[in-house]
Amino acid sequence: MLQSKGRKPDYATFAGLALAVAGILGGLVLENGQMQDVAQATALLIVFGGTIGAVLMSTPAATLIRALRHSSAIFFEEPRNDESLVARMLHFAMLARRGGITSIEVQAQQVDHPLLRKGLLLAVDGVDTIEIRRQMELEVRVGDDRAEEDARVFEVAGGYAPTIGIIGAVLGLIQVMKHLDTVSEIGKGIAVAFVATVYGVASANLLLLPAASKLRFRSRQAMQTQELIVEGVLAIAEGLNSHLIRMRLENFLEKRALTAVKVPGAAKPVAATGRPGL
């Protein structure tokens, strides 16, 4: 298989979120505050209800649904298998040079990765390499645009949340001003009013904006893998040998993974220079 379907938790996301919340609440406690000082259901309703409403008004429903569906990528990551992809493409290159490009058709149809499968089948059909590149890069670009739209949903929400928090604070101050006759309650009322601002600013800077950044990072990772596939398929279509293909693709791999990729038919792994290891 080219890609592992099992996902693992992104511990950096969980640790970062927990550390940020613990730091803020810990600071509150050190200042002799109490947890209930920021536990205000009304403020929560104003900020999150208002933010969600604003996002619904500014974002097409299909884009919002897709972004929510892909939001799990914030907390879970797909294991990258670029080394396996390179090894598989080297295998296809060997088969193509031995039996011709049409000899890989059956195996190409069984490839899991859709972009690799599409590229190999285009090559098998005898499509010109310029057209193969055009078709594959179009698919990569469309996928990247959609990933950017998903990230923008969370970025837009992060822009609205602090402003909605200010609205919540103003609403709270209005209620305080209506009861100026009870002087002893004014300070407490003002403190409660500003909880909405805390919710707005905290949700934007601890969750929504970081979520947008994480989705963009995931998108960049996916694009690197897709670019690797494009170059590999074009090299196979051009009839290059396994050593030249590996030299072209090794730039996409981390240095520590280079020696782990073997050229089919080689007795030893290829060194980082692209020459057979001694």
Q: Which pLDDT tens digits describe the chain residue by residue (278 residues)?
A: 334 456 889 999 999 999 999 998 888 888 887 777 788 888 899 999 999 999 999 999 999 999 999 999 999 988 878 888 899 999 999 999 888 899 999 999 999 899 999 999 999 999 999 999 999 999 999 999 999 999 999 999 999 999 999 999 998 888 888 777 776 667 767 777 889 999 999 999 999 999 999 999 999 999 999 999 999 999 999 988 888 888 888 888 865 444 445 544 444 444 443 433 32
Token pair 């590229």 is at which residue?
A: 119
Looking at residue 112, the DSSP 8-state letter turns out to be S
**What's the pLDDT score for residue 56?**
94
Neighbours of 237 (CB within 10 A): 22
How far is the C-alpha of 14 from the C-alpha of 47, rounded, in Å?
Answer: 23
What the block records as the tokens of 270 is 């290829």
Is 142 exposed, middle or buried, given 0-12, 13-18 or 19+ CB atoms closer than 10 A?
exposed
Crossing angle for the helix pair 114-124 and 209-238, to the nearest 10 degrees: 20
What's the gap between Cα 85 and its chain centre?
A: 20
**What's the pLDDT score for residue 136?**
95
Q: Is-contact 60 165, C-beta < 8 A?
A: no
Residues 6+ apart with CB under 8 A from 255: 272
Beta bridge pairs of residue 270? 276
Crossing angle for the helix pair 195-203 and 41-58, to the nearest 10 degrees: 40
φ, ψ dihedrals at 8, nearest 5°: -120, 150
Token pair 């670019």 is at which residue?
A: 227
How far is the C-alpha of 206 from the C-alpha of 134, rounded, in Å?
Answer: 40
How far is the C-alpha of 214 from the C-alpha of 206, rounded, in Å?
Answer: 12
Neighbours of 241 (CB within 10 A): 13
pTM of the model: 0.80
What's the gap between Cα 145 and its chain centre?
A: 13
**What's the pLDDT score for residue 183?**
64
Assign 254 to helix, strand or coil: coil
How far is the C-alpha of 97 from the C-alpha of 79, rounded, in Å?
Answer: 31
How far is the C-alpha of 92 from the C-alpha of 241, rounded, in Å?
Answer: 10
Residues 6+ apart with CB under 8 A from 230: 115, 119, 133, 136, 137, 140
**What's the pLDDT score for residue 5?**
53
Q: Is-contact 232 89, C-beta < 8 A?
A: yes
**What's the pLDDT score for residue 108?**
92
Token pair 């240095």 is at which residue?
A: 255
Neighbours of 109 (CB within 10 A): 11
What the block records as the tokens of 102 is 């049409």
